[in-house]
Amino acid sequence: MSKINPRVRMIQNSVQANLLQRCNHIREELQQGVKKPYKEVIDICWGDAHSGGTKPLTFVRQVIAVCIYPELLQETTIAPDVKERARRLLRECPGGSVGSYAAAKGIPFVQDGVCEFISKRDGGVPSYPEDIFICSGSQNALMFVLKLLVHGKGLAQTGVLTPIPCYPTFVMGLTELGAAMVPYYLCEDDGWCLHVEELRRALATSRSHCNPRILYVINPGNPTGHVQSRESIEEVIRFAAEEELFIFADEVYQDMMYAEGSQFVSYKKVLFEMGPQYSNTVELASFHSVSKGIMGECGLRCGYVELVNLDPSVKQSVTSAFNTERNTAVIGQIALNIMVDPPKPGDPSYPTFSQEVKSIRDNLVHNVRQVQETVEALPGTSFQAGSGGIYAYLRLDLPQKALLQAKEEGTDPDLMYCSRLLEEEGVCLVVGKEHGQQEGTYHIRICIGTTSTRLKEVLRRLKSFHLRFLNEFS
């Protein structure tokens, strides 16, 4: 392996990786009877709803089950709309089987459903199947489109304006593809808002070492939960038009809105409502997934990207390049079809489906309140509550003695904090450094896409540890 791609060697190991490794070791120690102050480890790092205790949606799993095992069509306990959806999806599979290959860009019937979903979501803005590319998750879709655009070295190296904080796998992907990350900072004191003035600063600074061509936005934010207003999106689109930037809109949390009165508005909807000056010129890639929203089907690995305003000749090259990619798993596409076309009022499965969705949303609201109440009563912490997504991103105001201790240990203060929290209380959280943060600030990320009982226990342990930590280093 001495001839491995040097870009791969440049990918830095996640600071979280060692923490997760230790988390697994502690689990093994508990199983072997090693005495700890706790009986179980609670890993609340991942944006994985099902591992966090959220139950899969019944309609989704029933349709998938019937598609995998069509003999279930004979079962009288299976609802008629489940059978009908399964029959329709099987008819769209070559050979009538989920074990067959699908078209490279996705099953046409599923593509059509995505188009109808987008158009309905955006108030009638048209969407076309030829612009929809179905991938094995939104991260794969992101990497595919980046691969098309990233090139050059030195001053010609493609620069990607990237929000800070941001989730680490995107940054690792930039390194792997040879792109230059151009960080722009979200404003924590203003609820993690995206300010165009900061975009201008980042762009001007970057031009001394790369060629910025892509603007990446996450809405709702990961890890911040901030949801952009229509006015903010309009400002970003105008900025991208002025600077000829290709917008990547990561919108995978769009159906996870929980703040009262908050509303998700897509970049595409705003773009087209701004008129032909923008809707005919600004290039946009919009991403969605079955993993992170109400579906929570992380393991099924399916998402899509819609490409807007690509030149027709470029689009043909994109299609050809996509044909070299592996086909997306059919079972994931079944879940995607249900995400964009769920049961409707009057369908036999609708009452159960609507109640399950309501329960997930109510749980998010309850969990955010739990976090807020805990932080309000906990010195040395603060929380800019978001409006959507599945994370709470807490700021730690650590004592000077703790910062000095971390320096002596040769580690980051928030990593030291999380490491001790894991050892003393058996709670594994995400270190703020993992996402990037302003110099001199420290954070932790908690996944609120979990059961309220589990989160309550996490917050109880966190409070106990945090007060001891402050007392030790005060």
Query: Which tens digit of pLDDT belongs to each residue from 212-227?
Result: 999 999 999 999 999 9
Q: Is the pLDDT of residue 10 over 60?
A: no
What burial letters (b/e) apply to 273-294, b meaning 16+ CB within 10 Å? ebeeebbeebbbbbbbbbbbbb
Q: What is the pLDDT of residue 84?
A: 97
Exposed (0-12), middle (13-18) or buried (19+): which is 71, by Cβ within 10 Å?
Answer: exposed
Residues 236 and 273 in one domain: yes
Task: State CA 403 to chain mean position distance.
Answer: 31
Residues 275 and 162 in one domain: yes
Structural domain that includes position 198: 90-340
Specify if 77 maps to a domain: no
- Structural domains in the chain (count): 2
Q: What is the pLDDT of residue 8?
A: 55
Specify if 256 maps to a domain: yes
Kindly state the percentage of the chain with pLDDT values over 70.
96
Residues 389 and 334 in one domain: no
Of 282, 309, 340, the domain-final residue:
340
Q: What is the pLDDT of residues 37-58, one digit of tens each?
A: 999 999 988 888 888 888 999 9
Task: State CA 217 to chain mean position distance.
Answer: 11
Specify if 68 maps to a domain: no
Distance (Å, rounded) from C-alpha 203 to C-alpha 302? Answer: 33
- State the pLDDT confidence band at 13, using cuts at 50, 70 and 90: low
Distance (Å, rounded) from C-alpha 83 to C-alpha 59? Answer: 10
Specify if 396 maps to a domain: yes
Distance (Å, rounded) from C-alpha 6 to C-alpha 175? Answer: 10
Residues 168 and 310 in one domain: yes
Q: What is the pLDDT of residues 286-331, one digit of tens each?
A: 999 999 889 999 999 999 999 999 888 777 778 777 777 667 889 9
Residues 329 and 371 in one domain: no
Q: What is the pLDDT of residue 105?
A: 84
Q: What is the pLDDT of residue 102?
A: 85
Residues 228 and 365 in one domain: no
Q: What is the pLDDT of residue 325?
A: 67
Residue with tokens 């105008």: 238
Distance (Å, rounded) from C-alpha 353 to C-alpha 336? Answer: 16
Radius of gyration of the chain (CA): 23
Q: What is the pLDDT of residue 247?
A: 98
Task: Report the Cα–Cα distance between both ends of the chain, in Å, rounded.
Answer: 50
What burial letters (b/e) apply to 176-202, b meaning 16+ CB within 10 Å? bbbbbbbbbbbebeeebbbbeebbeeb
Residues 324 and 445 in one domain: no
Strands 211-218 and 246-250: parallel
State whether residue 103 is helix, strand or coil: coil
- State the pLDDT confidence band at 6, using cuts at 50, 70 and 90: low
Distance (Å, rounded) from C-alpha 474 to C-alpha 465? Answer: 14
Residues 326 and 432 in one domain: no
- CB–CB of 399/415 below 8 Å? no
Q: Is the pLDDT of residue 462 over 60?
A: yes
DSSP 351-377: HHHHHHHHHHHHHHHHHHHHHHHHHHT
CATH number at residue 400: 3.90.1150.10
Q: What is the pLDDT of residue 7?
A: 59
- What does the mean pLDDT of the chain come to? 92
Residues 329 and 458 in one domain: no
Q: What is the pLDDT of residue 12?
A: 60
CATH number at residue 177: 3.40.640.10
Exposed (0-12), middle (13-18) or buried (19+): which is 373, by Cβ within 10 Å?
Answer: exposed
Q: Is the pLDDT of residue 4 over 70?
A: no
Specify if 187 maps to a domain: yes
Specify if 319 maps to a domain: yes
Distance (Å, rounded) from C-alpha 5 to C-alpha 175? Answer: 11
User: For residue 278, which amino acid is it?
Assistant: Y
Distance (Å, rounded) from C-alpha 245 to C-alpha 236? Answer: 10
Of 294, 317, 340, the domain-final residue:
340
Strands 391-396 and 180-185: unpaired
Q: In the predicted model, what is the mean pLDDT of residues 420-449?
A: 95
DSSP 438-457: -TT-EEEEEE-SS-HHHHHH
Q: Is the pLDDT of residue 5 over 70?
A: no
Q: What is the pLDDT of residues 85-122, one digit of tens each?
A: 999 999 999 889 999 888 888 899 999 999 999 999 99
User: For residue 63, which amino acid is it?
Assistant: V
Specify if 69 maps to a domain: no
Residues 310 and 413 in one domain: no
Q: In the predicted model, what is the mean pLDDT of residues 245-261?
A: 93
Of residues 297, 298, 221, the one with CA closest to residue 259? 221
Q: Is the pLDDT of residue 418 over 70?
A: yes
Distance (Å, rounded) from C-alpha 430 to C-alpha 417? Answer: 11
Q: Which residues sit opposite 153 in a β-bridge?
A: none
Residues 246 and 203 in one domain: yes
- CB–CB of 125/145 below 8 Å? no
Of 308, 340, 372, the domain-final residue:
340
Specify if 60 maps to a domain: no
Q: What is the pLDDT of residues 177-222, one digit of tens each?
A: 999 999 999 999 999 999 999 999 999 999 999 999 999 999 999 9
- State the pLDDT confidence band at 35, using cuts at 50, 70 and 90: very high
- State the pLDDT confidence band at 1, using cuts at 50, 70 and 90: very low
Residues 116 and 34 in one domain: no
Task: State CA 299 to chain mean position distance.
Answer: 14
Residue with tokens 């689109």: 237
- State the pLDDT confidence band at 278, using cuts at 50, 70 and 90: very high
